Amino acid sequence: MNNYPALIVIAPLLAALFAGLAVWIEDRLSYYIAILGLAVSSFSALKVLIQVIESGTIQYKMAGWDAPVGIEYRIDLLNAMVLLLISGIALFNLIASYKNVEQEISDRKGSFYTIYLLFVTGLLGVTATGDLFNLYVLIEITSLTSYAMVALSDKDRGPLASLNYIFIGVIGASFYLLGVGYLYMKTGSLNMMDVADIIASQHDSSTVLVGFILCMIGVWIKMALFPMHVWLPNAYSYSPVAFSRVVAPLMTKVMVYVMIRLMITVFGFEYIFNTLHLSEAVVWLATIAVLAGGVLALAQDNLKKILAYIIVCEIGYMVGGAWLGNQSGMTGAILHLLNDALMTFALFLGLGNMVYMLGKVKLNNLQGLFSRMPWTMTGFVVAAFSIVGVPPTCGFFSKWYLISGAFEAGAYHFAAALIISSLICAILFFKVFEICFFQSSPDLQGQGHGHKFQVMAEAPVSMLIVSNLVSFSLIVVGVFSGTIVKTIILPFLQGI
């Protein structure tokens, strides 16, 4: 047995310790240590994914203790994919972040890198673990680090947003912990597989039911499912941009992963769809979330906020897809988890470039952006079209599966919500593009050829390369979505 599964999580954890210390020696050193830690983690995640595809689920026992006593890492196709996604996004974001960090929080770089790495460690741990309580601990690690990070930004409203975030975050975590407590009461175990085995014969127990509902509510609060979303827009828009770029695509998606994990591995389809009959209500909730997220996004005048509300809307996609109760819906939800992480990342990368060059990203600051930052905008446009769902970008294909699933389940309202939200997103982004394209910024004009033109002022190359690379990957992932479904998602769904 090799140690790659452990290395995925341990490498960034160790790097976090050293990065904090290294700042006393040399500023840049902590940056390099962080990069190294995440590179090792991504490489291990890639190795693990290949290994899982080739030879099936990996069980890794921490320090050799057997489950259910010891903590077990259980990596199957689903979390192998998510692990690679997290470590990859964290790594690429860090590469693009150097200049942002320099600009925004130059006096606290050491703490930034340490907290950043701890946050990523937490996410990776949440994804890898096969233990319900360990999951709680790791969720708290990610949450605590992100509270710190939101507070770290020296914007006036950072501390307030952070406080708000803490309150709701703690409530969410408590719900989950309480739910785990109920499950422990009934089963006496915390290992997911073990709990699942015991629950299988306890389907009519009300303790399990309460445990299930509490866990779900906790997870929904954490993933900002409407109407439990109020903390998200402020928390994401007031944190340092280098951090919001990683928390926005990953945090909510990891919580979606946790929901799917609980649904599939711990409670099982049989229990959720045939015993509980909750799915119709949850799909309605998701429908409302999709529409509300879109409508709220329309009301914003700050690009960061718009993107934050789009996340709220996209969460509805995945929750709805997972709860449709058929294979297409679940496939769509999992595929959308991957796609949405990538597209949100691409959007926030573009946003990061804009913040770096413009400072503020209120909509009326974005005048003439197509001429000022053509490369940033190219990437941003591709990502926006992916959110809208224009083929061949990846957003289209997951939407395809989700709508198919909705038709299959007869949930026409959910299908309608998906279509309407596509239209709303199109309006949203073209509202932005119109400002960038038709209005020219008065302070950045040059003279030549008889009429005025906009001077180009692009973000640094390191940021541009990453943002355009990620946007390009949206198309690549899109055209290969058939392959991803065939090699990862379907075998995973059939394996249970």
Partner 1 sequence: MNTILSIKPLLAVLVSLLVIPVLVSSSDRPNVRESWIFIAGTITLLIVLSMLPVILDGNQLALTLFEIAPGASIAFRVDGLGMLFAIVAASLYIVTSIYSIGYMRGLKEHGQTRFVSFFALAISATIGAAFSANLLTLYMFYEILSLATYPLVTHHQDTKSMISGRRYLIFILGTSIGLVLPAMIYCYHVTGTLEFSTAGIFSDQLSKPAATVLLLMFVFGFAKAGIMPFHSWLPAAMVAPTPVSALLHAVAVVKVGVFSIIRVMTGIFGVELLSTYNLGVVVMCIASFTILVGSCIALSQDELKRRLAYSTISQLSYIIFGVALLSPQGLLGGIIHIVMHAFGKITLFFCAGAIFVATGKKYVSQMSGLGKKMPFTFTAFFIGALCVIGLPPSGGFYSKWNLILGTLEAEQSIFMLVLLVSSFLNAFYFLPIVYKGFFEKSNEEDENMPVKIREANLCLVIPLIISAIISIVLFFYPTVFVNLIKVGLAI
Instruction: Report the interface residues with partner 1, using CB under 8 A.
Output: 385, 388-392, 397, 400-401, 403-404, 407-408, 415-416, 419, 422-423, 426, 430, 434, 437-438, 451, 453, 479-483, 485
Closest distance to partner 1 from the beta carbon of 479 (Å):
5
Choice between 111 and 440, CB closer to partner 1? 440
| Beta carbon nearer to partner 1, 56 or 410 | 410
Q: Shortest Cβ distance from residue 396 to partner 1 (Å)?
A: 8
- In 3-state terms the chain splits into helix, strand, coil percentages (rounded to 5) of 80, 5, 15
Give 189 or 422: the residue with its C-beta nearer to partner 1.
Answer: 422
Strand-pair category, 72-75 with 445-448: unpaired
* Phi and psi angles of residue 75, each rounded to the nearest 5 degrees, phi first: -115, 110
**Of 280 and 408, which has the nearer Cβ to partner 1?**
408
Burial, 242: exposed, middle or buried (Cβ in 10 Å; 0-12, 13-18, 19+)?
Answer: buried
Given a contact cutoff of 8 angstroms between Cβ atoms, the answer to whether 324 and 279 are in contact is yes
- The least CB distance from residue 302 to partner 1, in Å, is 22
d(CA 309, CA 424): 12
Nearest to 380 by CA among 399, 361, 353, 355: 353
Other beta carbons within 10 Å of 111 = 17
- DSSP β-bridge partners for residue 452: 447
Shortest approach of partner 1 to residue 485 CB, angstroms?
A: 7
Q: Which of residues 50 and 479 has its CB atom nearest to partner 1 in the complex? A: 479
Contacts of residue 163, defined as CB under 8 A and 6 or more positions apart, other chains included, come to none
| Nearest distance in Å: CB 427, partner 1 | 9
Q: Which is nearer to partner 1, 243 or 396 (CB)?
A: 396
Q: With contact defined as beta carbons under 8 Å apart, do 33 and 18 qualify? A: yes
| Residue 279: how many other CB atoms lie within 10 Å | 19
Tell me how far, at minimum, the Cβ of 413 lies from partner 1, in Å: 12
- Report the Cα 303 to chain-centroid distance in Å: 18
Q: Least distance to partner 1 from the beta carbon of 415, Å? A: 6
* CB nearer partner 1, residue 212 or residue 401: 401
Q: How far is the CB of 312 from partner 1 (least distance, A)?
A: 20
Q: CA end-to-end span of the chain, whole Å?
A: 24
Short-list 422, 189, 162, CA closest to 290? 422
Nearer to partner 1 (CB atom), residue 455 or residue 479? 479
Closest to partner 1 by CB, 103 vs 378, is 378
What's the closest the beta carbon of residue 496 comes to partner 1, in angstroms? Answer: 21
Tokens of 45: 């995640």
Shortest reach from residue 370's CB to partner 1, in Å? 9
Residue closer to partner 1 (CB basis): 150 or 474: 474
Q: For residue 400, give the H/E element and its range.
A: helix 394-409
Q: In sequence order, what DSSP letters do the residues of 23-62 get, joined into one string?
A: TTT-HHHHHHHHHHHHHHHHHHHHHHHHHHHHH--EEEEG
Angle between helices 4-22 and 27-55 (to 10 degrees): 170
